[in-house]
Amino acid sequence: MFHWKKLGKVFTPQEVEGRSWLKEFAQAPATLVFDDFVRVYFSCRPPADEHGQYVSYSAYVDLERSDLFKIRHVGEQPILPLGGLGEFDEFGTYPVSVTREGDEVRAYYAGWTRCESVPFNVAIGSAVSHDDGQSFAKLGTGPVLSYSPDEPFVLSGPKVRRFNEKWQLFYIAGRKWKMVEGRAEPIYKIRMATSEDGIHWHKLNRDLIESRIEEDEAQASPDVFYANGKYHMFFCYRYSSHYRGKQNGYRIGYASSTDMVNWVRDDAKAGIDVSEQGWDAEMISYPHVFELDGRIYMAYLGDQVGRYGFGLAVLDGKLE
């Protein structure tokens, strides 16, 4: 069993001033490490409109590398504009994952659009930055990974990785919509696609992680880290209904693999759970694992899926 020592909440969006588009939420943290600071990308929201509808933007906060609880700078603008009329990302970009490619920074993000019969649909887009990840230009107006006969809706949660000189994109794909007390709730599972160039993707077309708590378990945020001869995946999962509170809310799970295709799930090994009290006492979700100066950290969300920010934990021991 791993043991993660919680360090506390790092960033609270409600404390940021002068950015009307950043009022609450700091969801799905993803890091880009620089010489003297760590840039953490996240997704946020302005207040709801007159109809109670939200949009979601992606932004970043820079943390001092020597003290990750010291905020150096919050991005002046969202890293991406919302899509145009009818485009797949017209109403939101959430979440985002980044990686360096030469002198560029490549981003993969989930683009949201509103629907009539169900609340939303999502596909995965890509964008490139030439200014060290401060701003990004989309590769086009459409997604790079979209719906297909086997994955009919809700492609989201992209996590881009580079292993064995190939691109890997771990993501979630919708399995079905489930009506719960008159509300449509999405059920999604973790999947993977590979690429030679990061643009043209070949889907594996199979679920990677078996369900544990129920058949309609929803899984998200598959973050994969290679250490000591195998691949380690931290992800989050929840029940299909009544999951917005503590009892059925998100928890962090764990699986391992030697080939990234066949995974053995062992949530008991994850080594992190909700706290007895405080900002992460109801749920924890959207883990992001990264290495910094010889230590392994996990950034993650607390209650209400990051409405009040993200926190950090550090691994006591090794990933093995």
The tens place of each residue's pLDDT in the chain, 320 residues long, gives: 999 999 999 999 999 999 999 999 999 999 999 999 999 999 999 999 998 899 999 999 999 999 999 999 999 999 999 999 999 999 999 999 999 999 999 999 999 999 999 999 999 999 999 999 999 999 999 999 999 999 999 999 999 999 999 999 999 999 999 999 989 999 999 999 999 999 999 999 999 999 999 999 999 999 999 999 999 999 999 999 888 888 899 999 999 999 999 999 999 999 999 999 999 999 999 999 999 999 999 999 999 999 999 999 999 999 88
Q: Which two tokens stand for residue 182?
A: 């008159």
Tokens 């090794």, residue? 318
Q: Buried b vs exposed e over 174-202: b needs ≥16 C-beta within 10 Å?
A: bbebeeeeeeebbbbbbbbbbbeebeebe
> Backbone phi, then psi, for 301, in 5-degree steps?
-100, 155
pTM of the model: 0.96
Q: Is 181 left (phi over 0), alpha (psi -120 to 50) or beta?
A: left
| Whether CATH 3.50.50.60 fits 4-315 | no
Computed from CA positions of residues 301, 302, 306, 309, in that sequence, does the dihedral angle turn out positive or negative? negative
